[in-house]
Structure 1
């Protein structure tokens, strides 16, 4: 499973791009910085987008991706790019973004071969996408937010992605019940410990809160941290060194890639 970081920041600033990960060159996990990170040929290979929740920093480049791909669909027999998410998330995108007011509705454009199609997910149900299996489970963040697990048929290559999340018992129960030992986990640490109240209100994590969540797991995967708010990045990193003692973790960086 080839994994590329297109954006992993909790802040939209120069040199800090919003959340989006590319798997096997064809699958997007969220779409916060796709069109600024990939050239047109690379964008044209995307077949599936898995959306954790409908906050703008995770979905905005669905709009620009659809606009860029129109030439690959017009007059051609190509299946639409599938947008996967819980039904309420897809409804938010349809009602508030792809609504012919904020942006054209590319689920009906071009008429004979639309660029996009909605594919609602059922929590816990496994679907096949290429060579990978994917399942979703709700998390504690925005309305109808969920995380995803992707794995190879034998389960040896796998990664779980919380998306943005606060404290969330059912998610960890879901991971503990997987039929294979989880080896990689992408999760967040948005705020420093001194801002714990804000983190709880906004349903995010601090290093201290993250440690408490990880203790719910029955295995110890490698932890990949994303979504640090850039103004507090140095402080968060210092606290992670202390609060994640005993865990193997990695701070995700834009433009890096590796195999899971």
Structure 2
């Protein structure tokens, strides 16, 4: 499985794109502004979109992408784009985006029987079989209904936390999986740790506590951990704070974490 990072920033700025990952060429994890760097043909090859939650930085490109490739999909007789999301996320999109006020309701265009897009409800614990891939829905703790994902690959699981704060259930599950790579958010610096807590995001100090929950008894506990979703104005400080704790053994374990920085344009073969 190939994972292409289209966007991994917590906001926009020059060179910053918000969250979106392309698995192979047909499954999109979140639809942030990074989708806009795909060609029309690349967007038209996407058949499944898996959303973590309804916040704008994770869904902004979904309505625009549908509009951009509508003619291509209709001419090719493509099936509806399958948008997999929690029921609460689907309700938010229907009420606030695809409402014929902010954007056309592509779940009923060109007709309700043959739409360009179809919503598919999911639940934590589901294993989705999409595009020849098995992707498990993981728990997340955020200000709106939210999830993460674990995609099975030849070398292990590619795991994405989604937007989350402290999340014991997440670690309980991934400690049972052969993880090849973890992508985890750290939106704010410790200087903004109160804001991070109120908005249910991680800061470096909270991230350190969360990483302590990696089970050291696992056969391969030291998998690469990629940091995502940093706010552009805070990225430098967040990097410094994470490097300080990442360079020393963790609080509870004699284990040095392999912490790396994620950036748009990266691609991984798993």
Q: TM-score, normalised by structure 1?
A: 0.94
Query: What is the alpha-carbon distance in structure 2 between the residues aligned to residue 35 and residue 232 of structure 1?
Result: 23
1:237 maps to what in 2? 239
Give the number of aligned pairs. Answer: 256
Gaps of 5+ in 2: 216-220, 248-255
Contact 2:142–2:165, Cα closer than 8 Å, also in 1: yes
Give the SS at the match of 1:54.
coil
Deviations 1:51-72 (A, max 9, x none): 0010000001001011011112
Equivalent-residue separation in structure 2 for 1:40 and 1:255 (angstroms) = 18
2:225: which partner in 1?
Answer: 223
1:118 paired to 2:119: yes
SS in structure 2 opposite 1:191? coil
Give distance in 2, aligned partners of 1:59 and 1:172: 26
Q: 2:193 aligns with which of 196, 201, 213?
A: 196
C-alpha contact (below 8 Å) 1:73/1:114 kept by paired residues: no
Task: Answer whether contact 1:127 1:133 (CA < 8 A) is retained.
Answer: yes
- Which residue of the partner structure matches residue 10 of structure 2? 10
Cα offset, 1:138, TM superposition: 2.3
Determine the structure 1 residue equivalent to 2:176: 177
Partner of 1:158: 157
Equivalent position SS for 1:208: helix
2:151 & 2:132 partners in 1: Cα distance? 10
Paired residue secondary structure (1:151): strand
Change (3 A) 1:74 1:131: closer
Q: Which runs of 4+ in 1 moved over 2 A?
A: 72-77
Q: Distance in 2 between matches of 1:241 and 1:35?
A: 30
Q: What is the match of residue 253 of structure 2?
A: none
> 1:229–1:188: structure 2 CA closer, same or farther, 3 Å change rule?
same
Gaps of 5+ in 1: none
For 1:103, the equivalent position in structure 2 comes to: 103
Counterpart CA distance in 2 for 1:130 and 1:186 is 21
C-alpha distance in structure 1 between counterparts of 2:117 and 2:206, whole Å: 37
1:43 aligns with 2:43: yes
Match of 1:256 in 2: 266
- Cα RMSD for the two superposed structures: 1.4
1:30 maps to what in 2? 30
Distance 1:187 1:35, change over 3 A: closer
